[in-house]
């Protein structure tokens, strides 16, 4: 495997670990953001593996469409997609993001990130 692909995988896994640490600290906006980042980075690793080039942008939906991910994975990606913005900007969330989230919601984001990472890593290793 090319080193740059491995770097994206390593960073995706690190972002998921950060999300779990922030969950323990009840910093739920950080959980949402880092879960999204884990998904984005593992999809970029898979894109790079399949296309021999990187993929610019932050839209996990567009990347997933280009990769033609299975519908169940795509459904989860659609759920986490808005968190790139909502988790960081009060004008998008309508409130300070730190006050926007609860544990139940972000536990689902961690589940999504874990599932996408598991699926994408299998695809990369094929």
The CATH number for 85's domain is 1.20.120.330
Q: Please count the structural domains in the chain.
A: 1
For residue 76, the enclosing domain spans: 3-125
Instruction: Map residue 126 onto helix, strand or coil.
Output: coil
Please tell me the distance from the alpha carbon of residue 7 to that of residue 18, in angstroms, as a whole number.
16
Structure tokens at 119: 């699926």
Say if residue 9's pLDDT is above 90. Answer: yes
* pTM (predicted TM-score): 0.96
Looking at residue 54, its pLDDT comes to 74
Give ∠ CA 11-16-17 in degrees, rounded to 5: 95
Choose among 10, 32, 43: nearest CA to 119: 43
Please tell me the distance from the alpha carbon of residue 35 to that of residue 77, in angstroms, as a whole number.
11
Residue 1 CA: distances (Å) to CA of 7, 8, 84, 112, 125: 10, 12, 28, 25, 8
When mean pLDDT is compared across 33-37, 46-50, 54-58, 76-80, the lowest value belongs to 54-58
């Amino acid at each position: 495997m090319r080193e740059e692909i491995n770097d994206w995988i390593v960073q995706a896994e690190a972002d998921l670990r950060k999300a779990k640490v922030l969950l323990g600290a009840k910093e739920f906006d950080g959980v949402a953001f880092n879960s999204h980042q884990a998904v984005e980075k593992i999809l970029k690793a898979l894109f790079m593996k399949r296309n021999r080039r990187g993929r610019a942008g932050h839209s996990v939906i567009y990347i997933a469409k280009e990769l033609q991910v299975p519908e169940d994975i795509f459904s989860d990606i659609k759920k986490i997609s808005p968190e790139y913005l909502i988790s960081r900007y009060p004008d998008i969330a309508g409130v300070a993001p730190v006050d926007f989230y609860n544990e139940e919601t972000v536990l689902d984001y961690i589940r999504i990130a874990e599932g996408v990472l598991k699926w994408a890593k299998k695809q990369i290793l094929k």
